[in-house]
Amino acid sequence: MNQPSNPPSEVARLEVPLERDVFLRTLIRELSGTLQDVVGLEEASGFISVVGLNMGHAISLEYRRALGRAPLSREEVAEVLVDLKRRIRGDFYVVEQSETRIVLGNRACPFAEKVLGRPAMCMMTSNVFGAIAAENLGYAKVELQETIAQGAPGCRVVVHLAPTPEAEAALGREYFGEEERA
């Protein structure tokens, strides 16, 4: 049974910058900001880390299924990290990669302007990248050297793939694959 279409109301015709993407980015910004204000940056980052870690495992599984293999190679992990951010409107790219690390740059945050002043939101990137790298390569330590959230014009993220002296000296979070956790 078709309902007759009503012409849009005056309210529906208003130029209000609100749609699903903006709404969800704003929601995440406000949640992370509230967490930062109530429990502090470190604790807020911890809560967001749990979400990012779960998302990282799910995303890794999706790419592994789509590629039809597991684990992924270092080159494939680098491609996945860039591709997943591209799909959510980030602009990450590989600066360099070696057996011990993948260095990524970024020109656009998926959270856009909503990330400014909310460094806890960067834990999504750290944990998603760390989970994917560790799940496929056994170990990762993600170092957020520069972030848009903290006012830099872009991001520089180093994903250490082995516990080298450089990785041990780096400020970041460590992630372990199944074999490493056992």
Residue 173 near residue 127, CB atoms below 8 Å: yes
d(CA 102, CA 74): 8
% pLDDT > 70, the chain: 96
Domain spans of the chain? 20-181
Q: Is the pLDDT of residue 27 over 60?
A: yes
Q: Is the pLDDT of residue 181 over 50?
A: no
Beta carbons within 10 angstroms of residue 95's beta carbon: 13
User: Distances in Å between the alpha carbon of 62 and those of 44, 58, 128?
Assistant: 27, 6, 13
Q: Show the tokens assigned to 147.
A: 């972030």
Report field, pTM of the whole predicted structure over 0.85 = yes
CATH number listed for the domain at residues 20-181? 3.30.1380.20
Confidence of residue 1 (pLDDT cuts 50, 70, 90): low
Q: Is the pLDDT of residue 135 over 80?
A: yes
